[in-house]
Chain A
Amino acid sequence: MPTATLTVRDGLVAPWAEWERRYTTGRRLLEAGTYALTEGAIAAGCRVFAGYPITPATDIAEYMSRRLPQVGGYYMQCEDELAGMHTCAGASLGGLKAMTATSGPGYTLMHDAYGWALTNEIPMVVVDAMRVGPISGITGAPGQGEFYVARYCTHGGNFETIVLSPSSVQEAFWLTIDAFNLAERFRTPVTILTDQVVSDMWEDLFIPADYDGLDFVVPRKSNLMMPFFPVGSAALDVPPNIIGRGTGVCVSAYTHTEEGYDIEEMEAQWAQSYRLVNKIRFHRAELTRYETVGMEDAEVVAVAYGANARTVKTAVLEARRRGLRAGFVRPITLWPFLDDLFERDCHYVVCELNYDGQLVREVMRAAPDKRKVHFMGKSAELHTVAEVTTALQGVSGSGRIPELPYIWTEVR
């Protein structure tokens, strides 16, 4: 049941393109990305936040501690990130939508709980505000080092993950609602991979007046009967299981049967893997979110996500103004990776905030000719418009990125 191939079109392809048109009454604010993430969660019906303070995600915790008691929710500051995400998973299992927020060092601690929530198909949202690393690195500088970590956020394989990445404060608001919707529909934890710039940046933000009137929010439903785990099926929109309603559901860390009993048989493992992988793979069309510019005639396409997509997009527009046939691709859904965006046979310049090259490897895999995929890595600060324009011109002219200070181009 593979999905039809995508026809790439210019502009923003995301559900909130339509939401923005329909909801126009509300407040216009100057606010931070962390505020938008918080309000998006509240608007989506999040009623539990459990986390541990960490720069640059701390502000989400602070906003949540103020907002959640106002709307009948619970804010918890846990002893560590492990407890934070497990508490969120527990709350979601009890019937409340839940979210946690952290940065790289806390995100690695959450893998334990992430795997537990993923195996047991517990909907929840994790925000990872990436900073430069490894480990603590520089707490106040942006990074994009968790591209693969977010995909393989737990051990053992046999699963697919959903990862979204906003690049503006306004988008962070809509995208958070979308993340909660996807979590409910796919019964899986959804990661929002933001970064220090998008989280801490202040921008104009539109917030709809009445959260209750948002008809696109997927409400929490409860699965009250067998099968609790439709192993061997890729069905979407199965209501999540609830503990505390006397359904007799069993939820565990082990490979499970339909009832949730632990089992040590290969057939059960195959059936569980089929569900965890294919419920996302078969419904990739539901997960397509991206933004493109100039893809109809592009010879060289700049690829970026998150904060630096903003400067990269400006550079592409500047390059086009100078007569270059440049294009721009910003995947918003990072995982499952949107291979179809890179079907065009042209040069790709992948700009990301790390020196090791992560997104570029996936683009190399997806693009028709990997020799035409170029890496433009920068660490701890955004690409400048001048740098990207120079690189686009270089690739367009000589087929390679000219030498630029503090830019790494080697992947292998």
Chain B
Amino acid sequence: MNKLAQKYLRPSQIPTKACHGCGIGMIENWLLQAIDELGLKQDDVVFGTGIGCVGRQTFATWGGDNFGATHGRAVAVATGLKLAQPDKKFLIVVGDGDAASIGTSHLIHAARRNLGVTVICEDNMGYESTGGQFSPTTPAGYVTNSSPYGMVEPPFDPCDVVQAAGATFVAETTATQWHQTVKIVKKALQNDGFSFVHVRFPCNENFGAYALGTRDTLKNLEWIYEHTQGRKADGSETDFTWETGIKHDASNSRPEFSRLLRDLGERVRARMAAGDGQGAH
């Protein structure tokens, strides 16, 4: 186990239950690097997850406090936790089902409120723990177990959604960009407000096997790399390209949600103390 994992993770929960070649562990390793470079301790960060591959594989790996919410509700639980524990950093690691499908309403309203949590959406482009069905981020036309003739629905970009909703930090990376991801997650954690980082990673057992036709871990990671760069090894263009990098950075430009509520309470109590009739009811 590498030194950062020894410092921050629980030895009893490593290795995780992830399949071989799954990108979840890579991304968690980069999250640890960002946390370490910011000088945060185990007790400073509360680690929240959802359901699915990302939830199951990362839950209880963090050495500090963990919670694994029901499907899609990690951000809703974190909203309550942030009210009670405003000084903690909340790292919410969820999948594309959690963030972009079942829990989108919580995500966009947390972004609207500028809730002080960092949401890492680890996107394997489908529901892989249930056997490889398409999700709202599966590229159009790709074959999955529930779109055997190709996915007919157009996908959407969760980054656009949370940015429109008012998130103060939005970025996208892929599992082939470690330096960029570490840099972005550091910035996201430094934002006292809602940060959203979308990271795509390869799945070999389902998305790779059905959409890309191979369980070869190297070919699947290469596919991610090609679509990050926009061209293939033979020089031809890919069918689509993900635009990675920081998409919106208004860090610390708006008051954080739990601070707004605390300030409201302080104003009300000050008015009561000054004899305003608001208090008597």
Contact = CB atoms under 8 A, between A and B. Distances in A.
Interface of A: 48, 50, 66-70, 72-76, 78-80, 82-83, 86-96, 98, 112-113, 115-116, 243-254, 259-262
Interface stretch (B31-39, B70-78, B209-217): B70-78
Contacts of A94: 80-85
Task: Name the residue among A94, A112, A260 with the largest chain B CB count within 10 angstroms.
Answer: A94
Given A95-B85, A96-B83, A250-B66, A244 B46 contact: yes
B84 A96 contact: yes
Given A50-B80, A73-B265, A95-B84, 12 more contacts: A69-B264, A69-B267, A69-B269, A72-B269, A82-B76, A86-B77, A87-B83, A90-B67, A90-B76, A90-B80, A116-B70, A252-B60
B79 interface: yes
A48 to B, nearest CB: 6
Given A115-B70, A262-B56, A262-B59, A89 B80 contact: yes
Contact of A244 (B42, B65, B281): B65
Task: Name the residue among A67, A79, A82, A90 with the largest chain B CB count within 10 angstroms.
Answer: A90
Q: How would you classify the secondary structure of chain B's contact residues: helix, strand, loop or mixed?
A: helix
A83 B68 contact: no
B68 A82 contact: no
B268 A70 contact: yes
A93 B59 contact: no
Task: Name the residue among A82, A87, A249, A262 with the largest chain B CB count within 10 angstroms.
Answer: A87
Contacts of A262: 56, 59-60, 68
Contacts of A261: 12-13, 60
Contact of A88 (B65, B78, B80): B80
B189 interface: no
Interface string B250-268: 0000000010010011011
Nearest to B87: A244
B16 to A, nearest CB: 11
A70 B279 contact: yes
Interface in B81-125: 81-85, 88, 105-106, 109
B24 to A, nearest CB: 15
A98 B80 contact: yes
Task: Name the residue among B63, B106, B278 with the largest chain A CB count within 10 angstroms.
Answer: B106
28 contacts: A70-B268, A72-B265, A72-B269, A76-B79, A76-B83, A78-B79, A79-B105, A83-B79, A83-B106, A86-B76, A90-B77, A90-B78, A94-B81, A94-B85, A96-B84, A98-B80, A116-B69, A116-B70, A116-B73, A244-B65, A248-B63, A249-B66, A250-B59, A251-B67, A251-B68, A252-B59, A253-B68, A259-B60
Contacts of B64: 246, 248
A48 B66 CA distance: 21
Contacts of B279: 70
A244 B89 CA distance: 10
Task: Name the residue among B63, B76, B81 with the largest chain A CB count within 10 angstroms.
Answer: B76
A246 B65 contact: yes
Contacts of B76: 78, 82-83, 86-87, 90, 113
Nearest to B77: A90
Interface residues of B, number: 44
Task: Name the residue among B65, B79, B105, B269 with the largest chain A CB count within 10 angstroms.
Answer: B65
B46 A243 contact: yes
A66 B13 contact: no
B43 to A, nearest CB: 3
A390 to B, nearest CB: 44
B269 A93 contact: no
Contacts of A254: 59, 68
Given A112-B70, A244-B46, A246-B43, A87 B79 contact: yes
Nearest 9 A-B pairs (CB), nearest first? A94-B84, A90-B80, A252-B68, A244-B85, A246-B43, A91-B80, A86-B76, A90-B77, A87-B80
Contacts of B281: 66-67
B151 interface: no
B109 A250 contact: no
A261 B83 CA distance: 25
B51 interface: yes
Contacts of A95: 84-85
B83 A247 contact: no
Contacts of A115: 70
A195 B76 CA distance: 27
A113 B85 CA distance: 20
Contacts of A82: 73, 76, 106
B163 to A, nearest CB: 18
Interface string B138-152: 000000000000000
B272 interface: yes
A275 B124 CA distance: 37
B84 A253 contact: no
Nearest to B50: A253
Contacts of B46: 243-244
A70 B269 contact: yes
Task: Name the residue among A50, A83, A88 with the largest chain B CB count within 10 angstroms.
Answer: A83
A261 B59 CA distance: 8
Contacts of B83: 48, 74, 76, 87, 90-91, 94, 96
